[in-house]
Structure 1
Amino acid sequence: MKNSKFLWLFSLMLVLSIFLAACGDKEKATETTTDKPEDKTPTTEETAAPDEEQVLNLMQTAEIPTLDTSLVTDAVGLDLLNNINEGLYRLNQENVAIPAIAEEEPTISEDGLVYTFKLRDSNWSDGSPVTANDFEYAWKRAMNPDMASEYGPFMMNGVIKNASAISEGKMDFNELGVKALDEKTLEVTLEKPIPYFLSLMSFGTFYPLKEEFVKAQGDNYAKNSESLLYNGPFTLTNWDGTGLTWKLVKNDQYWDKDTVKLTEINYDVVKENATAVNLYTNGEKDRTGLTGEYAMQYADDPEKIVQPDTSIFWFKFNQERLGKKSPLANKNIREAISKAFNKEDLTNVVLANGSVPANYMIPKDFAFDADGNDFRDVNGDMATFNPEEAKAAWEKGLSELGVTELSLEILGGDTETSKKMDEYLKNQLETNLKGLKISLKEVPFSVRLELDTKQDYDIQVAGWGPDYQDPFTFLTLWETKGGNNQMSYSNPEYDQLLKDINGSLALDPVKRWEAMARAEKIIVDEDYAIAPIYQRGLVFLVKPYVKGIISHPFGGDYSYKWAYIEGKN
């Protein structure tokens, strides 16, 4: 996220009219080294030197779980989709959503419910045209219960007409409020006026899919680079569905191909920071994240970039594992763990990458009221590190459970940084909570997502990057039937607050603000449903010849549409 603040603009009639740069990642990989350098947008119209090889060499810290737009929920997948596909809108170099496959701004009905989009002439990578039916099919597919999409209902419920009823099984998914009037005209009907609706159109779930191609692929669809079609700046090659390497190649069928300067982007999955730094310093890679000792080692390097981020990482406490009530259903046990680890030492010594302790769920420098006040100022810090209070809650919880000790598992990532962090957390918890034995389960990101969906874990280190610039993007996670609530948490007061926030309080900015603050306090400081750990910061080394990479605070992390190489030779 850029250092400048985005001002949250309220009005009495359009309280939800937020300046939204775009939507973002539902679930971030549990890793603090995801590359996200400072925006290098050229300030004037620049072109790459003609004799420069336009090849960018990058690293990812995790494999690609999926590139099916109906199923993707992670940072890696959303980042790639942002570069190989395109929706009605795209974030530009200033992080403003502008028409992309939409030829121009839509026609909007007087009641604000019906949007009519005219599509520009654009093609899929196989040369066939992108049509309005491709959008209708993709959106309805995401709402088809057989797809078991998380983001379809998550993004469309309460927004697109009939989406909520479809999710509740009261209507067929084909009744979703999206319709192709002809090949170049798409009509979208909303459930209610949504002032930030056009910003949502840049998000991956709303990208088009060619029905004929998807159905021809059958179960093989999106399983590798050959079983996908592309309509964005690049196409994907050399991905077998599970591998640790892939490549993006300039898409000659892209409608705005003349803007794209890079001919290819080469990716390798590198999970060890030492290896990543070596690949960068020997010239094999053009960008790398830095953590811990490497962030300190390169503190004065002129190629180092530090960037704040709006992603929050936390412990998820699973109250019902595989259908069986767990010890974490006890609130005192959850409170004890929430207060039993030193976040300052974790961020300053273990991570050492610009991350800061998070004693909250809604990030700092993210949401602001009409007067510019940070939402973070309402509740301040909650559930802070306090060994004495942790011990008291622990002993009370053990007594209520009728035991003197507990064994719990922490589910985390398999990267070098994740392992170091989890070892630190294990030591802190076992030291400050006598009778607690922690085991660590360190798995690839795709496996963690699978275990999360099955609720096959005790405690999970997970994170969230906002989908839009409103505290509600975090609060909606923990609704009883929320999109990320794979931990059997439920609180009637909390559920009612969520209904009121975008319902009866929607036109009262002050009361809506207060209701969101109350909801955050319930989650973090009363029910201890989650235990916030840190707000991510990012440190990188970036080669000076890499120009024009655009980093986004929401949605896919980067756009390479405007990137180029200059001054390498």
Structure 2
Amino acid sequence: MSTKLGNKKGLIFTGVVISLILAGCGKASSNASSESSSAVSHKNQATSQVLNWTASTELPTVDSVKEYDVVSQEQIDYLGEGLYKIDSNNNAVPAVASGNPVAQNKAKTKYVINIKKGLKWSNGSKLTAQDFVYAWQRLFNPKTAAQNASVYYNIKNAEQINLGKKKVSSLGVKALSDTKLEITLERRDPYLKATLSSENLFPENEAFVKKAGSKYGTSSKYVLSNGPFVMKDWDGSGTTWHYVKNTKYHEKNQITLKRINIQVTKNTATGVNQFQAGKVDNALLSGYYVKQFKNDKRLKKVLQLRSDNLELGIHSNKKLQNLNFRKALSLSINRNQLVNDVLTDGSRAATSIVPKGLVKSPDGKTDLSDATGNLVKYNPTEAKKLWAKAQKELGTKKISLDLYVDDSSDGKNVGEYVQGKVQNTLKGVTLNIKQVPAKSRFQKLMSYKFDTALGGWSGNFDPYTFLQQFQTGFEHNHGKFSNKQYDNLLDKINGSDLDNLNTRWQDLIKSQKVLIDQQATIPLYQPASTYLISSKLKGVVTHNLGTPLDVTRAYLVK
């Protein structure tokens, strides 16, 4: 996600390229003046507007406050909407908000945001500024145990509330009226509008949430919509559900699809077969199938601003506390071979932590990834030397580690590749693949008790959010890596460096070098999503950061 930035601190990030149009898009208006009950009409529009769509795995939650994974994020985008949203031109534009945030002080740490009038929830109740206050207070309330809460600690008092040191009512957000929201920040945020488009900051209806209690977000019965669609027939664990058009949505006239049927399809072959049989309108491809359909006009590729890593349970496994062993593991993996021969979907071999294409230098000439250089090279000879040193230091010739991967085609393929390269290079090391549902893998990582696992991170609009995951005490620092030099650099990047672009740039580079020198994680690749999409579906928008495919304003043609 990206946004046009109105101050000099934002110039460092003007290289962000986030979304592109796959087909002619029925672009949504940013005002709420039209209340026509009829949808916008498109040329050659099909009579039936029922989309059959796939999801890659089971859905963990539709509670926007508790959302912490890509699958939940994708599904919540159907039924929810925040103050702002990322449009097809890469800009953060008003959604529930009626205009841009208005700064209330010179430091730009206090803002007032006006909210559109006449907004309603899908049950007909009024949507007001208080719905944001309630949702955000719930996000940081330690009782909620929201796993992404720490990502938004820049909101005044958020961290202290989340740690149980201050009252929830002290959070820096107030409803000045039904249509005026005041936000106070800890420090200036050059990405404020884009930050406020995040699913975790969507509004929630207090009366509905309290009535649902602990069941809120666990099934379609216990979730309320303020977005384009209303969820139906999801029981909390099933592999099928659907959405119907939300007649209370403020831009309902921009929504053409009447219904979206969702089916979980984990296996690539199954998805392709269903697509070719006309049972579904999309299929996620991997491996052999990318090559098979490389010349098909229905093939669409999206390089994501995401990093996929081999996460290391440094805290929970004493063998992984040996630096030479961790470095040996990294040097034994050929990332170019992984992306070219295994994934074959346009993914890019990782060279550092922050993905390529996210940010450019203050002069706008150099990508951060290029400036940082390749920090994660393949060198089996050096890997064997370091493994020999590690064996002496650890007093053992053999080490067995569990490797947790998703029960998807990519999870299996990447896991087996890493397993093969490590075991063939480092004789005596065994990786035992544990293929589990995505939800179970998330739970394992969040338990902080694992050996190794395939993990990924879709950061925010600032490269700091990719680096933060390895900061001491950060909730998603799954290996509990801790390094004082690294922590100090991150404190500068998110503090004093905001007033000095060149210094911040150098610290972004330094921090990545420290991280890889200490091998806190093992970067693998920057993923690309490759899809077959029906030629009858128009108006699909892709995003490199966040939800890959946005079909909320798409439509079917004859």
The alignment's TM-score, normalised by the length of structure 2, stands at 0.93
Residue 551 (1) aligns with residue 546 (2): no
Match of 1:287 in 2: 282
Q: Judge conservation of contact 2:350–2:523 (CA < 8 Å) in 1.
A: yes
Q: Judge conservation of contact 1:162–1:191 (CA < 8 Å) in 2.
A: yes
Pair 54,48 (structure 1): closer, same or farther in 2 beyond 3 Å = farther
Match of 2:111 in 1: 115
Residue 192 (1) aligns with residue 194 (2): no
- Counting only pairs closer than 5 Å after superposition, residues 343-492 of structure 1 correspond to structure 2 as 343-369=335-361, 370-468=363-461, 470-492=462-484
Q: Judge conservation of contact 2:121–2:224 (CA < 8 Å) in 1.
A: yes
2 CA distance for matches of 1:274 and 1:101?
A: 40
Q: Judge conservation of contact 1:411–1:459 (CA < 8 Å) in 2.
A: yes
1 CA distance for matches of 2:430 and 2:9?
A: 51
Bigger mean CA deviation after superposition, 508-517 or 49-58: 49-58
Match of 1:211 among 184, 206, 225: 206
What are the Cα deviations for residues 435-473 of structure 1, in whole angstroms up to 9, with x where unaligned?
A: 1111111100000111111023101111112311x3212
Secondary structure, aligned partner of 1:78: helix
TM-aligned CA deviation for residue 50 of structure 1: 5.4
Pair 17,406 (structure 1): closer, same or farther in 2 beyond 3 Å = closer
Secondary structure, aligned partner of 2:296: coil
2 CA distance for matches of 1:37 and 1:543?
A: 17
Residue 273 (1) aligns with residue 265 (2): no
2 CA distance for matches of 1:17 and 1:359?
A: 20
Q: Judge conservation of contact 1:88–1:201 (CA < 8 Å) in 2.
A: yes
Match of 1:29 in 2: none
Bigger mean CA deviation after superposition, 546-555 or 208-217: 546-555
Task: Let me know the Cα RMSD of the aligned residues.
Answer: 2.2
Q: Judge conservation of contact 2:142–2:163 (CA < 8 Å) in 1.
A: no
Residue 61 (1) aligns with residue 61 (2): no
1 CA distance for matches of 2:66 and 2:241?
A: 20
Residue 136 (1) aligns with residue 127 (2): no
Residue 202 (1) aligns with residue 197 (2): yes
Q: Judge conservation of contact 1:143–1:167 (CA < 8 Å) in 2.
A: yes
Secondary structure, aligned partner of 1:383: coil
Secondary structure, aligned partner of 2:67: coil
Pair 409,38 (structure 1): closer, same or farther in 2 beyond 3 Å = farther
TM-aligned CA deviation for residue 8 of structure 1: 9.8
Letter in 2 for 1:546: L
Q: Judge conservation of contact 1:355–1:534 (CA < 8 Å) in 2.
A: yes
1 CA distance for matches of 2:111 and 2:505?
A: 29
Q: Judge conservation of contact 2:101–2:193 (CA < 8 Å) in 1.
A: no
Identity percentage of aligned residues: 32
Q: Judge conservation of contact 1:154–1:483 (CA < 8 Å) in 2.
A: no
TM-aligned CA deviation for residue 38 of structure 1: 5.6
Bigger mean CA deviation after superposition, 448-457 or 303-312: 303-312
1 CA distance for matches of 2:545 and 2:225?
A: 22
Letter in 2 for 1:69: S
Q: Judge conservation of contact 2:66–2:146 (CA < 8 Å) in 1.
A: yes
Residue 310 (1) aligns with residue 301 (2): no
Q: Judge conservation of contact 2:445–2:478 (CA < 8 Å) in 1.
A: yes
Secondary structure, aligned partner of 2:499: coil
TM-aligned CA deviation for residue 488 of structure 1: 1.6
Residue 101 (1) aligns with residue 96 (2): yes
Q: Which runs of 5+ in 1 are unaligned?
A: 24-35
Match of 1:172 among 167, 170, 194: 167
Pair 115,421 (structure 1): closer, same or farther in 2 beyond 3 Å = same
Task: Tell which has more relative contact order, 1 or 2 (C-alpha 8 A, sep 6+).
Answer: 1
Secondary structure, aligned partner of 2:443: helix
TM-aligned CA deviation for residue 17 of structure 1: 7.2
Letter in 1 for 2:134: Y
Letter in 2 for 1:258: N
Q: Judge conservation of contact 2:45–2:556 (CA < 8 Å) in 1.
A: no
1 CA distance for matches of 2:466 and 2:201?
A: 20
TM-aligned CA deviation for residue 37 of structure 1: 8.9
The alignment's TM-score, normalised by the length of structure 1, stands at 0.91
What are the Cα deviations for residues 67-124 of structure 1, in whole angstroms up to 9, with x where unaligned?
A: 1112111111111112211111122222311111112233321322222222212110
Q: Judge conservation of contact 1:316–1:530 (CA < 8 Å) in 2.
A: yes
Letter in 1 for 2:528: G
Pair 427,72 (structure 1): closer, same or farther in 2 beyond 3 Å = same
What are the Cα deviations for residues 166-209 of structure 1, in whole angstroms up to 9, with x where unaligned?
A: 23443222210011122222111122222211111111111111
Match of 2:23 in 1: 40
Letter in 1 for 2:416: E
